[in-house]
Amino acid sequence: MEWTREARYRGLSSITNEEFESMTDKVHQSPWRQHFHVQPVSGLLNDPNGFIYFKGQYHLFYQWYPLGPVHGLKFWYHVVSDDLIHFENKGPVVYPDTTYDSHGAYSGSSIQIEDQLYLFYTGNHRTKDWERVPYQMVATLNDAFQVKDKQPLIEGSPQGYTDHFRDPKVWQENGNYYFVIGAQTTAQTGRALIYQGDTSFKFHLLGEIQTGLSDFGYMWECPDLFKLGNKDVLIFCPQGLEADGMNYRNIYQSGYIIGDFDLKTLEMKHDGFVELDHGFDFYAPQTTISKEGERVLIGWMGLPDINYPTDVYNWAHCLTLPRELKVKENTLIQTVHPDVEKLRVRSNETTMDITDDNTVLDLIQLDRSEINISIVENEADVLSIVFSNQVEEAVKITYDKNTGIFELDRSQSGELPNNQDNQKRSVQLFDALKSLKIFIDTSSIEIFINEGTHVMTSRLFPVEPYQYCQLSSESGTVKMETKQYELKRG
């Protein structure tokens, strides 16, 4: 169908239950439905929102347009979990049903105050002339998972900023409430602003976070500010960066700066901006504190303005596996959360010498697997790992020891998304390759390099599931230990 403006802004009430069931039936026909990733029952999923551990469960919401694989009238869809891997669908909870969010309940966060969960988000309102008016909203979620008492906190944008003003991430500190929010100046530059509020939720602007990034993209989305160890971390998604060698290859970026933030002066002394993920499909991450007290991140495994092969089945996108964050030598280390180990059902391990002859790894169930590789000794110039199927579709991982460049090539992996800059992504490793932890689901791969120093996340759309893993080297031998797990459904 043609996705006109009118079509994109239809609500759920515009279709019958039978029509919605027909949509979900088409989704189930898709060959690319995931086994252990959060994915929409229909339509489009994007930013994770409101991520929190509350009353013994993880609550996670995401941006959802139910009627098709396009960005339209956004809801918040709700999933819950006792751990961070087995999520149960609870359905939409934040509906765009007031004047303030008439054209979408956009991204935001949540906070626990006593025994109550409060949701902060951006309401998107359009006038009859289609002018955008953003509202920063608050609502409560009751024990029946119903949203109540929606209230606008801030109408419009502050002076000096455009209507691109969204995505509040809220926290409590020293008896006050604060949120960091993405903004665009009237000079078309991205910024992160800080607001302070009291217990009655009367918020006022403190100002911009003072970084060394005065001209770094035209908009900053989905900011997230938190302390990790003795460092402050600001995660945000700058739009409008030009590609720079191996960096900034995707249409939009997600990354962080790390250093020391002064809440009184709003000054942040920091190192350079670092991308969180060097794959093809990662955006708009959000963090929370786990029940163990660790900082955990989940991201959107997708990007705006890209058409994906799943679109023809009336759905798009999923969320990443949860990642635990640590700071090591002013670098954010991302490792898979230990709860993911609950998916393991069978294992197979081996020690092997990889040469220029293809070595086939004996696999259990490649399209839902975890593969751990430890490099014991590497005398080769190049190590290659290829996952393939019977129709010769393949995704290739390559490591060049001499340059330190690690590359992911999905050019022959199957059907491909469009509007993306070539089909190879690379990252310069800090140290020699020592370990890989690879998660493969029906239509995705997540690669954790050197204990999470670098990560590459990508969607893959093979016509048939990958069945084979071939390893080879050039100009020398690689001695490695491997352990593979078959993973069950999440």
Residues 66 and 188 in one domain: yes
CA angle 253, 256, 261 (to 5 degrees): 145
Rounded CA-CA distance 445/427 in Å is 16
Residues 330 and 234 in one domain: yes
Q: CATH number for the domain including 322?
A: 2.115.10.20
Residues 256 and 359 in one domain: no
**pLDDT at residue 188, rounded to an integer:** 98
Rounded CA-CA distance 137/122 in Å is 6
Backbone angles phi, psi at 5, to 5 degrees: -60, -45
Other C-beta atoms within 10 Å of 476: how many?
Answer: 16
Provide the domain count of the chain. Answer: 2
| Catalytic site includes residue 47 | yes
Residues 286 and 381 in one domain: no
Residues 172 and 111 in one domain: yes
Residue 421 pLDDT greater than 90, yes or no: no
Residue 419 pLDDT greater than 80, yes or no: no
Tell the residue number behind the tokens 């100009």, with chain if given.
475
Other C-beta atoms within 10 Å of 78: how many?
Answer: 23
Strand-pairing partners, residue 197, are 177, 203
Residues 171 and 196 in one domain: yes
Per-residue pLDDT reduced to its tens digit, 13-44: 999 999 999 999 999 999 999 999 999 999 99
Residue 307 pLDDT greater than 90, yes or no: yes
**pLDDT at residue 2, rounded to an integer:** 87
Residue 347 pLDDT greater than 90, yes or no: yes
Q: What percent of the chain has pLDDT over 70?
A: 100
Backbone angles phi, psi at 88, to 5 degrees: -110, 130
DSSP secondary structure string for all residues of 11-36: -GGGS-HHHHHHHHHHHHT-TT--SS
Least confident of 312-316, 369-373, 419-423: 419-423
Residue 226 pLDDT greater than 80, yes or no: yes
Residue 358 pLDDT greater than 80, yes or no: no
Domain stops at, among 336, 354, 369:
336
Domain that holds residue 318: 5-336
Per-residue pLDDT reduced to its tens digit, 425-462: 999 999 999 999 999 999 999 999 999 999 999 999 99
Report the mean per-residue pLDDT for the chain: 97
Distance set, CA 249 to CA 234, 244, 280, 328, 420 (Å) = 21, 7, 8, 25, 9
Rounded CA-CA distance 451/434 in Å is 9
Residues 301 and 403 in one domain: no
Quote the tokens at residue 272: 């350079």
- Residue 117 pLDDT grade (very low, low, confident, very high; cuts 50, 70, 90): very high
**pLDDT at residue 489, rounded to an integer:** 86
Residues 138 and 283 in one domain: yes
Residue 356 pLDDT greater than 90, yes or no: no
Residues 193 and 304 in one domain: yes
Set 47, 167, 224, 281: catalytic member: 47
Q: CATH number for the domain including 396?
A: 2.60.120.560
pTM over the 0.75 mark: yes
CA torsion through residues 475, 477, 480, 486, sign = positive
**pLDDT at residue 361, rounded to an integer:** 85
- Residue 420 pLDDT grade (very low, low, confident, very high; cuts 50, 70, 90): confident
**pLDDT at residue 363, rounded to an integer:** 77
Residues 353 and 316 in one domain: no
Residue 364 pLDDT greater than 80, yes or no: no
Residues 108 and 208 in one domain: yes
Backbone angles phi, psi at 454, to 5 degrees: -135, 150
